[in-house]
């Protein structure tokens, strides 16, 4: 066979021939997946030191955050219990100051009851003094009475229980206080029970009197 007939002799010097090994494209892909699935240590022979250090650092941070969260929950729970206890103590002893102020009033009542050889006048004077003492103590605590007569009826502080047709006051005025009301600072504790004037017995005004005089002269 001549050089012309030999196909290998016709190739350039830089050319090469890929021999068919019988492997398909799917087999190449499968081998690549197997190589990628191998651990880095088996594939390269080098242990992933940096990756292990990162994992340990993340685990340590996770443990610190978990401990911090548990401590925060415990602090919040202790604060809630302490606040609840302080609130209960406040409600139990909030009246300690005013009770201390009322003790002398109670002492005077006991003295009055123990004094059997008193006249009716002495008893009346003693009760009046105790009443003033009690009113002063309650007034210092912010309690004030609603007991004004002749003022316009106010449903926010008055409770009308009867009408007074004989009162000389204008209509819708407080004619009589049947039971005092009380305000604690700016809050109503008890409304005043009142009798309200209907204005039927109100005196004639100057204008109505002049009109009546004019009618009489005509």
Report the pLDDT value the prediction gives residue 80, as an integer from 0 to 100: 93
**Domain 143-204 part of CATH 2.60.40.10:** no
CB 143 within 8 A of CB 181: no
pLDDT at 92: 86
Angle separating helix axes 120-140 and 96-114, nearest 10 degrees:
180
Q: What is the pLDDT along the chain (218 residues), one digit of tens a residue?
A: 444 555 555 545 554 454 555 555 555 555 656 655 555 455 455 555 567 888 888 888 999 999 999 999 999 999 999 999 999 888 888 888 889 999 999 999 888 888 766 788 888 888 899 999 999 999 999 999 999 999 999 999 999 999 999 999 999 999 999 999 999 999 999 999 999 999 887 665 444 444 555 554 54
Looking from the CA of 103 toward its CB, the CA atoms found within 13 Å total: 6
Instruction: Identify the pLDDT of residue 214.
Output: 53
pLDDT of residue 95: 85
- Cβ of 119: how many Cβ atoms within 10 Å? 8
Q: What is the pLDDT of residue 70?
A: 92
Domain ranges of the chain: 143-204
- In this prediction the pTM is 0.55
């Amino acid at each position: 066979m001549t050089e012309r007939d030999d196909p290998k002799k016709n190739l350039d010097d830089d050319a090469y021939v890929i021999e068919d090994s019988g492997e398909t494209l799917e087999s190449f892909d499968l081998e690549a997946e197997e190589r990628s699935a191998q651990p880095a240590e088996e594939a390269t022979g080098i242990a992933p030191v940096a990756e292990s250090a990162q994992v340990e650092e993340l685990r340590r941070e996770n443990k610190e955050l978990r401990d911090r969260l548990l401590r925060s929950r415990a602090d919040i729970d202790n604060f809630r219990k302490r606040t609840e206890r302080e609130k209960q103590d406040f409600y139990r002893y909030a009246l300690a100051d005013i009770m201390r102020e009322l003790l002398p009033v109670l002492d005077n009542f006991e003295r009055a009851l123990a004094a059997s050889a008193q006249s009716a006048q002495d008893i009346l004077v003693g009760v009046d003094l105790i009443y003033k003492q009690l009113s002063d103590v309650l007034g210092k605590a912010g309690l004030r009475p609603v007991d004004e007569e002749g003022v316009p009826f106010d449903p926010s502080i008055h409770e009308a229980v009867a009408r007074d047709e004989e009162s000389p006051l204008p209509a819708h005025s407080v004619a009589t206080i049947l039971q005092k009301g009380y305000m604690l600072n700016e809050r109503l504790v008890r409304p005043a029970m009142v009798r309200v004037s209907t204005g039927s017995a109100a005196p004639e005004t100057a204008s109505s009197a002049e009109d009546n005089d004019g009618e009489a002269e005509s």
